[in-house]
Amino acid sequence: MKRRFTEDSWRKEPWFRSLCSAFLACKTHEEMENFLRDVSTLSEMQALSERLEVARLLSQGLSYRQVAAKTGASTTTVTRVANFLENGEGGYRKVLKAHRHHRMIQTAPSETPSTSEHPEKKSSPLQKYLQR
């Protein structure tokens, strides 16, 4: 029978814990790239990359429709990512803060919403949540 993770037990699953350990064993960016390529399909890597980009754009205050248009992600995916940003385990928030701090995710100036373009725009609840 195929093993299924559940919301109550996914952290305790030996296969999941082993996967986490494998990620942590990667010491360099290249090792991580090679591991991800070996363990996942191109479609899976694209889906994970897309979700992180969706989270990044949402955290910058873009609307769901803007994010969907920029990334090509479905509005269902954008909504799901937004839900995890606000109600998830904090993984997106932690990674996005680390990326901002270390400047690992770089955006072209035209991609970042400017306050001069939208002077009346205030921080969204999601942006405030991510700043915690």
Structural domain includes residue 68: yes
Give the pLDDT confidence of 55-65 residue by residue, as tens digits.
999 999 999 99
Statement to judge: residues 46 and 35 lie in one domain: no
Residue ranges making up the domain that contains 35:
10-39
Statement to judge: residues 67 and 129 lie in one domain: yes
Statement to judge: residues 34 and 46 lie in one domain: no
Structural domain includes residue 82: yes
Structural domain includes residue 18: yes
Statement to judge: residues 34 and 47 lie in one domain: no
CB atoms near residue 112 (< 10 Å): 13
Give the pLDDT confidence of 6-33 residue by residue, as tens digits.
999 999 999 999 999 999 999 999 999 9
Contact 36, 25 (CB under 8 A): no
CA–CA distance, 104 with 109 (Å, rounded to integer): 15
Q: Cα 7 from chain centroid? A: 19
Statement to judge: residues 57 and 82 lie in one domain: yes
Structural domain includes residue 110: no
**Helix 75-87 to helix 91-102 angle, to the nearest 10 degrees?**
90
Phi, psi of 14 (to 5 degrees): -55, -40
Number of domains in the chain: 2
pTM: 0.73
